[in-house]
Amino acid sequence: MALRIGEIAPDFKAESTQGIISFHRYIHNHWAILFSHPSDFTPVCTSELGAVAKLKVEFDKRKTKVLGISIGTLESHRRWIFDIEETQETTVNFPVIADPHKKVAYLYDMIHPFFSHNDTIRSVFIIGPDKRIKSILIYPGNTGRNFHEILRMIDSLRLTDGFKVATPANWEYGDDCFVLPVVKDEELATTFPKGFKIVKPYLRTTPQPN
């Protein structure tokens, strides 16, 4: 059965390029990104792992741990990482999980038969400190993921997890937010001391609370 937003992310233990990973223990009280690749030594995924390595400091700022996963073996991962570091001019500074028996792939519904009966689909799971799945993104094999958009999504999820706001289309960190409908008009002044604007009864904005 496919996983859904709001569910507890399945726990697992697996080998990785940085040692044994016990997933829930590894997350601890952080946010986490688990992103899968069809297989090792593929061009799009090579660029993606390089991109994530270069953005690692941005994930760290957001207290977010990143983990890649492929159904390749640990030895295959290590050889692939050598290529990634050479061609993308970076250091792969996060664990890549080896899942040759597809244990995690099936646990997270990463095998889609219309895509491949053998390879994992290119999924992204954003998981909160409460171990619940906050977002699921699925990309086709030939379209590289935009990890700046994933960072933007983490910013939105972290914000809306702590305040009674929603983020509008194309929101960027620092932009105004929408006030959630559950907040009554008479509560606006105390809930949002930075100010607010009522455009329509259902359309109320406030400066980013944090």
The catalytic residues are: 45
CA gap 22, 30 in Å, rounded:
14
Q: Which two tokens stand for residue 84?
A: 């990634």
CA gap 101, 70 in Å, rounded:
10
Long-range (24+ apart) CB contacts under 8 A made by 173-176 are: 173/208, 174/208, 175/208, 176/205, 176/206, 176/207, 176/208
CA gap 49, 80 in Å, rounded:
10
Left if phi > 0, otherwise alpha if psi is -120 to 50, otherwise beta: which for 109?
left
Q: Do 151 and 137 meet the contact criterion of CB atoms below 8 Å apart?
A: no
Q: Do 198 and 204 meet the contact criterion of CB atoms below 8 Å apart?
A: yes
CB environment 40-51: b (16+ within 10 A), e (fewer): bebebbbebbbb
CA gap 60, 32 in Å, rounded:
10
